[in-house]
Amino acid sequence: MKMRGRILGMLLCVALAALVGCGAKETAESGGETKEGTAKEESAEASEDGKVIRIGCEATTPGWIQTGDDGSLQGYDFDVWQEIGKRTGYEIDYQVMDWDAMWPMLESDRLDSVGEQISVTQEREKKYTFSTPYAYNVYCLLAAKDNEKLKSMEDLATGMTISCESNTSDEIIVNAINKEYGIELEPTYYDGMSVQDVALGRCDLWPRAETSCNTTVKEVDNLKILGKTDILETNAYPFAKTERGEELAKVVSEALDGMREDGTLKTLSEKWFDIDISEKPADAQ
């Protein structure tokens, strides 16, 4: 796995600047409505004085941002943004909405950023201005614990199914794994499919960042981490390529740099994931 991982890293360096996760989802082409309607007009007006940063999220990524039992938002991304607000004097206005609605709203200045484990990719860098990275994740594969055909990464074989969410970078992960192992996995595209489908044997594999895998195997029965790849996901916050977007990216980057230097990012990542994801692994490709 380690020797093959090096080959994968070399293959990926051309294809990726950094990869996605949990989902790391790609920008949708079409617009959409928020789960509670379009963005509030008062939020847009409030942001004009520069004291509010409007953040979109689905709130469906365990550990990163999700809705707690009391209905409030919680997670690593949420805590990071609250700290950014304290350090910069900006009010952080988190808005829950559908994934496909966020990107058109970001591009039309109805949102300032998206805060839910967003990965930096070459395609996204062409469209958005990114903050400095605040997290790094290695990608792993999840499989059913009782799947006797899959005990390690060496058991991967042509014809096995792997989940691929539409409008994401999952396909890049699948292609990289296929090249490394000389196989042809069968992508299973879904909209609303759950990782439970892997636990129930309806799909063989599910690609996820290590933090999400660690959380998922604790919350969903009959799942195991099959193994790690050398695919590194780099997380940062996207902003529109506008004067306001460029300025906010700079302000947020300065806050994130300070949080890394004083150990705040490390503390928050260990709080939510029990590992430090604030520093790029020394041996990462």
pLDDT band for position 168 (50/70/90)?
low
Q: Where in the chain is the domain with CATH 3.40.190.10?
A: 2-17+137-233, 41-135+235-273
Q: Which of 229, 197, 157 is nearest to 1 (CA)?
A: 229
Q: Which stretch of 1-5, 100-104, 271-275 has the lowest confidence by average pLDDT?
A: 1-5
> Edge-to-edge strands of the sheet including 113-114?
91-96, 52-57, 113-114
Helix (H, G, I), strand (E, B) or coil at 172: helix
Q: With b meaning 16 or more CB within 10 Å and e meaning fewer, what string describes 47-70?
A: beeeebbbbbbbbebbbbbbeeee
Predicted local confidence at residue 36, as pLDDT = 42
Q: Which residues lie across from 232 on neighbouring strands?
A: 138
CATH superfamily of 2-17+137-233: Periplasmic binding protein-like II (3.40.190.10)
Dist. CA 113–CA 67, nearest whole Å? 19
- Is the CATH number 3.40.190.10 carried by domain 41-135+235-273? yes
Q: Give the pTM.
A: 0.73
